[in-house]
Amino acid sequence: MPIKRAVAPDAKYKGCSVPPASLTHKVEALTHIRTEKAVRDRFGISYYTWRRICEGAPVRTSLLHRLQIRVDKLERPAAG
């Protein structure tokens, strides 16, 4: 699913996007332990960023693209 840029009148959100609901649900489902270390090890993002994504708050669009790639890899069964 393509990630759309957030439309915000404030320059604070320039370059940011609201995470798609599908990505938010996947991130929440793939989070088994909700600690700073566990979130960073699993997704490569901070706990604060993880919380913003789960809340549907705008985050950097580039971060969402990287996170989508990471989630896709986690969902793929390991080739063995």
Phi, psi of 5, rounded to the nearest 5 degrees: -70, 145
37: Cβ contacts below 8 Å, ≥ 6 apart: none
Provide the pLDDT for residue 49: 96
Instruction: Please indicate, yes or no, if residue 44 is contained in any of the structural domains.
Output: yes
Instruction: Please indicate, yes or no, if residue 80 is contained in any of the structural domains.
Output: no
Instruction: Please indicate, yes or no, if residue 52 is contained in any of the structural domains.
Output: yes
pLDDT tens-digit readout, 1-58: 566 555 555 556 788 999 999 999 999 999 999 999 999 999 999 999 999 999 999 9
> Can you give the residue range of the structural domain that contains 45?
11-73
Q: What is the C-alpha to C-alpha distance for residues 76 and 27, in angstroms, rounded to an integer? A: 14
The 8-class DSSP code of residue 19 comes to: P
Using a 10 angstrom Cβ sphere, with 0-12 exposed, 13-18 middle and 19 or more buried, the burial of residue 59 is buried
Mean pLDDT rounded to a whole number for the chain = 86
- 16, β-bridge pairs: 60
Instruction: Please indicate, yes or no, if residue 68 is contained in any of the structural domains.
Output: yes
Instruction: Please indicate, yes or no, if residue 33 is contained in any of the structural domains.
Output: yes
